Homo-oligomer: A and B are copies of this chain.
Amino acid sequence: MNIKDIGEQGLLRILQKFCPAEIVGDDCAVMVTNPNKSLAVTTDMLVDQVHFSDRTTRPYDAGWRAAAANLSDLAAMGATPLAVTVALAVAADTALLWVEEFYRGMTACLQEYHTPIVGGDIVRSPVVTVAITAFGEVECDRTIRRSNARSGWAIVATGVHGSSRAGLELLLNPEFGQNLTEVDRTALILAHQRPKPRLDVLPIVWEILGSESETLIAGMDSSDGLADAIMQICRASGVGAKVDRQKIPIPNIFREILSTEKALDWALYGGEDFELVLFLPMVNAELLVEKIGNKSAIVGTATDSTDIWLTDSSGIYSDAKLTLDRGFQHFR
């Protein structure tokens, strides 16, 4: 059954089931907010064949990832989610099942973080397109900004990097990783298909900093890669960094299936791991990685210079400047 078989009103009725009943049916959604908090807002647009494709991403997973990416942006600011709006463009011949599965995946992820879909728009377009806007709340004196980093602070990655890239490779290129166990295979593919926004890290950060602390920490998420996150924060804060290649947390299995260079490349530039990259005082950072556990790590320190060096505490590799050359450029 395609969208044209049920029409806009039919589709609307189906999609409204994914939203809280009390919120639907006015020109806007209206929400009560916390009087002591600021509003954090982020928006993402996803286009069929550009940001997802039936070849690598089932609609359920595309929906999950879209939600996760937006919640991750909130986490990166220190904000807890309030709600999202979803605008959807579909073609007359788009399968209804695709749309329903997309919404199922999206709401499955959102529900893990108690986040309702409070509004939306449905339009027609030759190209399936989704725009998600997420709103969250953050205490004014806790907003995590890219520009807050200071020289001497530790750089924390909240988890492994490169898994999502490896999962994508498994989906694109079945020859890759034929020697992997089913468990490892599934773990990497799930890292790509069902990334988890690290909203769970925030309460730990606030606990460590303490309610008296006036320290404003720096950070962003690693959706565009670990290297990109470090460089963006350094640039915004006017600091440099030394990143120890031996400290970058990668999946254990990488040591068996990838060359050292490839593993490092995927960890730094693979992207879409949706971990947080935080710059904070060393004493807080050490406590933080201890409490988060699970492969979170201090990967380096911020420096006075504006250069970003990839160092090697094992002494095997000579220092190299980290660049964005491997980054993804659209419109080429």
Contacts and interface: CB of A to CB of B under 8 A. Distances in A.
A36 interface: yes
A124 B35 CA distance: 38
Given A89-B45, A330-B7, A27 B76 contact: yes
A118 B27 contact: no
Given A129-B45, A329-B8, A30 B26 contact: no
A275 B5 CA distance: 33
Given A30-B38, A30-B40, A40-B29, A45 B87 contact: yes
Given A7-B329, A33-B38, A28 B123 contact: no
The CB with the most chain B CB atoms within 10 A, among A33, A41, A124, A140, is that of A41
B73 A27 contact: yes
Contacts of A119: 41-43
A202 to B, nearest CB: 13
A28 B76 contact: yes
Given A45-B121, A125-B47, A131-B131, A26 B331 contact: no
A297 interface: no
Contacts of A3: 331
A282 to B, nearest CB: 24
Contacts of A27: 42, 72-74, 76-77, 220-221
Contact of A143 (B30, B41, B86, B133): B30
Contact of A135 (B7, B32, B41, B140): B41
B133 A7 contact: no
Contact of A8 (B118, B126, B330): B330
B39 A33 contact: yes
Contacts of A57: none
Given A28-B76, A129-B89, A131-B45, A330 B35 contact: no
Interface string A38-82: 111111111100110000000000000000000011101101001
A95 interface: no
Given A44-B87, A87-B45, A125 B28 contact: no
B147 A25 contact: yes
A229 B33 CA distance: 29
Contacts of A77: 26-28, 30
A100 to B, nearest CB: 16
A88 interface: yes
A4 interface: yes
A281 B35 CA distance: 32
Interface of A: 3-4, 7-9, 11, 25-33, 35-36, 38-47, 50-51, 72-74, 76-77, 79, 82-83, 85-89, 92, 118-127, 129, 131, 133, 135-136, 138, 140, 143, 145-147, 220-221, 236, 329-332
Q: Which 9 A-B pairs have the closest CB atoms?
A: A131-B131, A35-B35, A45-B87, A27-B76, A8-B330, A133-B133, A28-B40, A27-B73, A47-B125
